[in-house]
């Protein structure tokens, strides 16, 4: 089996069914035929051909793009860029809500960054580059491809200040998604740069009051000043618990702060859509890494 094999669960097709509503003639029992009884509208149900499950309702501008085709396009780029025989690659395909959403993770174990040259860290602690793919048929996500890195021992997503989607395409755009060799190679380069940044963080000490101030001014800061306290108590409570854990493991270092923030973004405790909340928080962490508060601590 290929290292880039796509799960059979992903390989389903959909069909479009136009919606209609019962006309007044039908309600009054005066309709002479179906055309008069039901009036069509510019809305189409997107339905799985194999199960008949409704995945979304869209206008006629919506373009159905099967998940497996997106995965195949990314696979083509990877195969053109690296020698698969020399790489240890792991793929994880997940179908969510019966097919409404799709995520694919491609982990590149051969490009790991080992952290064991720091005495305080376990030999099991390493960082690997990860290619993420997102798509949906319910309209909540466009087609999205992005690079990330994962801290293996805790599975935290390693966010960078320039964190962003490598490519993004909405389903109503006629142009299909494009993922190039340069997009792939730039992700590997960024991953190596992240490793150097983390080593610097491990050597930078920090006080508890400075950590508290940083989080209040960034991750916990409310969008609008609704009361005298413009920092979310719930967010600060969650961050404080995580900081206690990571500071005990890594000491009062900037690296422990970074791990606290990425744990908070990677593992949201929420009743909402976990993927949406996690990606929103990752953006917040990226903004924190570019903030004057963080840059002052890192200087």
Query: What is the mean pLDDT of the segment spanning 258-270?
Result: 87
Residue 127's nearest CA partner among 103, 104, 159 is: 159
**Given this model, what pLDDT does residue 156 score?**
53
Q: Please determine, for residue 293, whether its predicted confidence score (pLDDT) is greater than 90.
A: yes
**Given this model, what pLDDT does residue 163 score?**
47
Q: What is the pLDDT of residues 8-27, one digit of tens each?
A: 999 999 999 999 887 766 55
* Other Cβ atoms closer than 10 A to 104: 23
Pick the residue with more confidence: 276 or 159?
276
**Given this model, what pLDDT does residue 98 score?**
95
Helix, strand and coil percent figures for the chain, each rounded to 5: 40, 25, 35
Q: Please determine, for residue 81, whether its predicted confidence score (pLDDT) is greater than 90.
A: no
Say if residues 142 and 118 touch (Cβ distance below 8 Å). Answer: no
Q: Please determine, for residue 232, whether its predicted confidence score (pLDDT) is greater than 80.
A: yes
Pick the residue with more confidence: 274 or 246?
246
CA distance 215 to 91: 34
Provide the whole-model pTM.
0.75
Residue 226: C-alpha distances to residues 67, 221, 237, 288 (Å)? 42, 11, 19, 21
DSSP-derived pairing of the beta strands 113-114 and 167-169: unpaired
Rounded percentage of the chain residues whose pLDDT exceeds 90:
40
**279 band by pLDDT with thresholds 50, 70 and 90:** confident
* Other Cβ atoms closer than 10 A to 113: 20
**104 band by pLDDT with thresholds 50, 70 and 90:** very high
Pick the residue with more confidence: 143 or 165?
143
Say if residues 136 and 169 touch (Cβ distance below 8 Å). Answer: no
Task: Indicate the DSSP class of residue 162.
Answer: T
**Given this model, what pLDDT does residue 228 score?**
55
Pick the residue with more confidence: 108 or 95?
95
* Other Cβ atoms closer than 10 A to 291: 16
Task: Indicate the DSSP class of residue 137.
Answer: S
Residue 161: C-alpha distances to residues 29, 38, 124, 164, 190 (Å)? 64, 54, 26, 9, 11
CA distance 200 to 211: 17
Three-state DSSP class for residue 271 = coil
**Given this model, what pLDDT does residue 13 score?**
97
């Amino acid at each position: 089996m290929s290292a880039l094999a796509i799960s059979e669960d992903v390989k389903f097709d959909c069909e479009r069914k136009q919606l209609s509503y019962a006309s007044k003639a039908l309600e009054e029992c005066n309709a002479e035929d179906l055309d008069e009884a039901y009036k069509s509208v510019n809305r189409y149900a997107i339905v799985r051909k194999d199960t008949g499950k409704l995945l979304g309702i869209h206008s006629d501008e919506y373009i159905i793009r099967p998940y497996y085709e997106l995965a195949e396009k990314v696979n083509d780029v990877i195969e053109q860029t690296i020698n698969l025989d020399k790489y240890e690659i792991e793929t994880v395909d997940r179908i969510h809500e019966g097919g409404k959403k799709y995520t694919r993770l491609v982990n590149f174990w051969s490009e790991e960054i080992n952290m064991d040259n720091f005495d305080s860290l376990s030999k099991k602690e390493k960082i690997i580059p990860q290619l993420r793919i997102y798509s949906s048929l319910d309209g909540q996500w466009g087609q999205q491809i992005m690079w990330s890195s994962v801290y293996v021992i805790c599975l935290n997503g390693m966010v960078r200040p320039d964190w962003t989607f490598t490519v993004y395409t909405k389903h109503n755009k006629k142009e299909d998604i494009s993922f190039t060799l340069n997009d792939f190679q730039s992700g590997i380069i960024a991953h190596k740069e992240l490793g150097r940044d983390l080593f610097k963080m491990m050597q930078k000490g920090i006080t508890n009051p400075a950590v508290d101030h940083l989080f209040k001014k960034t991750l916990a800061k409310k969008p609008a000043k609704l009361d005298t306290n413009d920092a979310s108590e719930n967010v600060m409570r969650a961050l404080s618990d995580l900081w206690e854990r990571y500071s005990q493991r890594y000491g009062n270092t900037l690296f422990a702060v970074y791990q606290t923030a990425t744990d908070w973004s990677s593992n949201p405790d929420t009743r909402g859509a976990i993927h949406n909340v996690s990606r929103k928080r990752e953006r917040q962490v990226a903004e924190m890494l570019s903030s004057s508060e963080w840059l002052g601590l890192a200087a």
